[in-house]
Amino acid sequence: MSSTPDVMEKLVSLCKRRGFIFQSSEIYGGAGSVWDYGPLGVELKKNIKDRWWHSMVRSRDDIEGLDAAILMHPRTWEASGHVAGFVDPLVDCRTCKGRFRADKLEDARCPQKPSKQPGQTEQCQLTDARNFNLMFKTHMGALEESASVVYLRPETAQGIFVNFLNVQQSMRQKVPFGIAQIGKAFRNEITPGNFIFRTREFEQMEMQFFVEPGTDMSWFDQWKQLRMEWHLALGLSPERLKFHQHTAGELAHYARAAFDVTFDFGGTLGFQEIEGVHNRGDFDLSQHQQFSGKKLEYYDQPNNKRYLPYVIETSVGADRVTLAALVNAYREEAVAGEDEGRVVLGLHHSIAPIKAAIFPLTKKDGQPDLAKAIVQDLRAAYAVDYDETGSIGKRYRRQDEVGTPFCITIDGQSVSDQTVTVRDRDTLMQERIAADQLKQYLATRLVG
Ligand code: ATP
């Protein structure tokens, strides 16, 4: 249990009301733990992915981008260990027919007595745990026979490993270097839930950094630090972030070291993993080398030696970070001089779906025309929104709720002297500035 309040229910409702996130196939009663991103949600998640792509790929010489396919040769998943080992322990309850993860019972609720966890009431009859493979299986081609079984990838990483030499040779990279990609992954989670925290279809942002054996732990420490800095730069509060080191018992059999970046989601969820930083040794490349029969060694020309690089992996969920950003940003506060308080999403400016909203105070006297001209002018550089309906107070509240950093109001004076009022989401301070200075103003005020 976290000491920070649980805002999840309020967020789910805000996200639906304001067009961030809808339940998938809602008119049919919803698809289990699958969510659709609405107009503002897609902007928010895209901004987060763009920040990651920029910090990983665009701003560095030593990392290349990739977009590998979701469907891969089925042998990939034998080599990676997923066919045999990507399992969670599953228990059934004979009474309520519920299915739960045996290792996460404390996170689950008894469907018949939600105040208890499964197994805690007299009626519960849990079976012994058995292994359940989380990969979605489907068939490629017209024949539903075993030879054509393929899997929806449960992680993006394997697309990177199998392309290691393609990228290295085509881009003339030298170890140490990395490959980064963003893409969908699918896991048939036994107990998904907590909104977009654990879903069956999600997006990962993964980077595999290939290093010479022996240098791996120093790269591991660097990446661990860099990734924490990235989350802090996204505006996540320092007190809500901490590392969790995998103990010997938690470490995957191939991992030499692993840390999770965890975020405090508040309430009963508390601190949970949002990213994993792993030292995977040469497990993946050597498995693929063995299963494919193709040499995946790197040739270090200056030193005339060949070796399989070790891999430092950073693996973060785009949806989980989106949720962390929303939880972190949500606040309710009183407004001086007003009876009604306000709900604000104090999102970092760089990820706010709308950067500025433009309002004519009234629908007459040429105000909408001036407002629309300003919208046109700003649109080239920023995501902006035009709104002329409802009282100005309501329009401010609406933008506060979706995290818009600045509201620009056009009034009677604006039409005569071409000045406008800019209101700051967080301080509520209002400034009057010349309309032709707006672009410059936003460029200096918006935090990148
Ligand atoms: P967990 O223990 O929460 O199931 P994991 O350790 O299996 O996660 P990884 O395989 O390391 O997770 O995946 C890397 C990242 O991908 C996680 O930190 C998380 O952000 C994201 N992720 C994994 N599974 C899901 C899911 N079902 N829904 C949303 N995001 C996920």
In this structure, how many other beta carbons lie within 10 angstroms of the beta carbon of residue 16? Answer: 15
Instruction: Note whether 248 and 153 are same-domain residues.
Output: yes
The answer to whether residues 18 and 30 belong to one domain is yes
Q: Is 77 within a domain?
A: no
pLDDT band at 192 (very low <50, low <70, confident <90, very high): confident
Residues 279 and 321 in one domain: yes
Is 366 in the same domain as 310? Answer: no
Q: Which of 280, 310, 326 corresponds to the end of one domain?
A: 326
Same domain, 238 and 367: no
Same-domain status, 62 and 92: no
Choosing from 24, 132, 320 the residue with most ligand 1 atoms within 8 A of its CB, the one to mutate for a pocket test is 320
Any residues with CB less than 8 A from the CB of 343 and at least 6 apart, and which?
Answer: 10, 14, 330, 331, 332, 397, 400, 401
Q: How many whole angstroms from 143 Cα to the centroid of ligand 1?
A: 33
Look at strands 298-300 and 305-307 and give their pairing.
Answer: antiparallel
Q: Find the mean pLDDT for residues 438-443.
A: 97
What is the number of structural domains in the chain? 3
Tell me, yes or no, whether 311 lies in a domain.
yes
pLDDT in tens, 289-316: 999 999 999 999 999 999 999 999 999 9
Mean per-residue pLDDT for 136-143?
A: 87
Q: Are residues 92 and 190 in the same domain?
A: no
> Of 216, 153, 211, whose CA–CA distance to 179 is shortest?
211
Q: Are residues 289 and 416 in the same domain?
A: no
Query: Is residue 347 a part of any domain in this protein?
Result: no
The fraction of the chain above a pLDDT of 70, given in percent, is 99
Q: What are phi and psi of 173, to 5 degrees?
A: -85, 150
3-state secondary structure 21-36: EEECCHHHCCCCCCEE
Q: Give one DSSP letter per residue of 315-363, joined into a string.
A: EEEHHHHHHHHHHHHEEEE--TT-SS-EEEE---GGG-S-SEEEEESSS
Q: Are residues 92 and 163 in the same domain?
A: no
The domain that contains 414 carries what CATH number? Answer: 3.40.50.800
Q: Whose CA is nearest to atom 13 of ligand 1?
A: 315
Residue 146 in this model has a pLDDT that exceeds 80: no
The answer to whether the CB of 240 falls within 8 A of the CB of 267 is: no
- From atom 12 of ligand 1, which residue's Cα is the shortest distance away? 276
Q: Which CATH number do you get for residue 47?
A: 3.30.930.10
For residue 320, the ligand 1 atom closest to its alpha carbon is 20
**pTM for this prediction:** 0.94
Rounded CA gap, 63 and 179, in Å? 5
Q: Do residues 97 and 124 touch, judged by C-beta distance below 8 A?
A: no
Shared domain check, 242 and 98: no
The pLDDT of residue 412 is above 90: yes
**97 in any annotated domain:** yes
Phi, psi of 304 (to 5 degrees): 45, 55
Q: Which region among 10-24, 41-55, 245-259 has the lowest average model confidence (pLDDT)?
A: 245-259
Identify the residue whose C-alpha is closest to ligand 1 atom 16.
317
Burial class (CB in 10 A: 0-12, 13-18, 19+), 215: middle
402 with 290, same domain: the answer is no
* 370 and 315 co-located in one domain: no
Domain around 107: 87-133
Residue nearest to atom 24 of ligand 1 (CA): 198
Look at 99-108, 194-203, 286-295, 350-359 and tell me which has the smallest mean pLDDT. 99-108
Residue 423 belongs to some domain of the structure: yes
Mean pLDDT of 107-122: 89
| Centroid of chain to Cα 63 | 20
